[in-house]
Amino acid sequence: MPSGAAWKNLTANRQWLGILMMTAEINIQCSVHVTGITDTGRARDHNEDAIAWDAPHGLAMLADGMGGHNAGDVASRLCLETLNEVLQAALDKPRHLRPNKGMSKHATLVRRSVNKANTVIFDNAAVNPERKGMGTTLAMVLFYEDRAVVAHVGDSRVYRLRGGTLEQITADHSLVRELLEKGAISAEEAENNPYRHVITRAVGVRPRTVAEVQELEAQPGDVFLLCSDGLTDLVSDAVIEDTLVVAGGNWRCAAQRLIDLANNSGGRDNISVVIAALGGPC
């Protein structure tokens, strides 16, 4: 695992209940404050989520692992470690970055990094039969200059709070979302559909995956929330928005409050959140 103060990794196999926070300047244009927490929840006996960030490089990540024999925590950990390793090495030598197929240099780098993580997880499962089929979701943001590159695979989400309004940036890669878009089920039916946790994309399950990558304008005051479905299955977007707004910039308290809300509603799954808040010009 990469070492150094810049790398904060809260691995999936630890029942970690504390909060770390980090602040850094990015490309001398803004400051980013990152905090996160991962919790086992009340129904599971181990945690297969992982969260990590590297604030000096403008990176925040979250993964929700899956697989038998506790292989989910291996997948989520391998995913974030690989992403950090590839991204850190490339960002330390930015002159080598290249755009590709209409994507910016940083968006291209993110896609390449996810592809590498997919290969690492898939190859690990190939030589460890007990881990066959393991994989993970992914939600991540890479900040640079006045931009935010958002990437996701599966149903872990990225939200943005701007001007007191919460917006879901990512769209779940899930069977229920596909059925909803086709008009096969209603929004009410989707909430209780028995297949609502079936995802249509993952990192590491197959030889290749396709990350959905988008690039957004980032402004001072923006707050990005990364979260696993352990939060969004139990806490509505309206409540999440209210929690972030009333936090008044105390992101430590906001993260803990979101975890508590999910646990107080049953805590059926592992629950993870990462909050990245952009400050003003440095």
Q: The CATH number of the domain where 134 resides is what?
A: 3.60.40.10
Distance, in Å, from the CA atom of 142 to the CA atom of 94, rounded to the nearest integer, reads 14
105-150 pLDDT, tens digit per residue, is 999 999 999 999 999 999 999 999 999 999 999 999 999 999 999 9
Per-residue confidence band for 32, with pLDDT thresholds at 50, 70 and 90? very high
- Examine residue 195 and state whether it is found in any structural domain, yes or no: no
Q: Which H helix or E strand runs over 229? A: helix 229-232
54-112 pLDDT, tens digit per residue, is 989 999 999 999 987 779 999 999 999 999 999 999 999 988 898 988 899 999 999 99
Domain tally for the chain?
A: 1
Distance, in Å, from the CA atom of 108 to the CA atom of 211, rounded to the nearest integer, reads 11
Rounded to the nearest 10 degrees, how much is the dihedral formed by the CA atoms of 47, 37, 53, 127?
A: 0
- Examine residue 181 and state whether it is found in any structural domain, yes or no: no
Predicted pLDDT of residue 29: 61
- Examine residue 268 and state whether it is found in any structural domain, yes or no: yes
- Joined tokens for residue 278: 């952009």
Radius of gyration of the chain (CA): 18
Angle, helices 71-91 vs 105-126, to 10°: value is 140
Q: Is the pLDDT of residue 230 over 60?
A: yes
Strands 30-39 and 135-136: unpaired
**Residue 73 exposed, middle or buried by CB count within 10 Å (0-12, 13-18, 19+):** buried
More confident residue, 53 or 194: 53
**Residue 154 exposed, middle or buried by CB count within 10 Å (0-12, 13-18, 19+):** buried
- Examine residue 190 and state whether it is found in any structural domain, yes or no: no
- Examine residue 88 and state whether it is found in any structural domain, yes or no: yes
Predicted pLDDT of residue 185: 87
Per-residue confidence band for 281, with pLDDT thresholds at 50, 70 and 90? low
- Examine residue 20 and state whether it is found in any structural domain, yes or no: yes
- Examine residue 193 and state whether it is found in any structural domain, yes or no: no
Do the beta carbons of residue 270 and residue 48 sit within 8 Å? yes
Per-residue confidence band for 181, with pLDDT thresholds at 50, 70 and 90? confident
Average pLDDT, the chain: 89
Q: Is the pLDDT of residue 220 over 80?
A: yes
Q: Write the CA distances from 272 to 48, 61, 162, 263, integer angstroms.
A: 10, 11, 21, 11
Among positive and negative, which fits the CA dihedral 96, 97, 101, 102? negative
- State how far Cα 20 lies from the chain centre: 16
Question: Domain range spanning residue 241?
Answer: 8-164+202-278
- Examine residue 135 and state whether it is found in any structural domain, yes or no: yes
pTM: 0.89
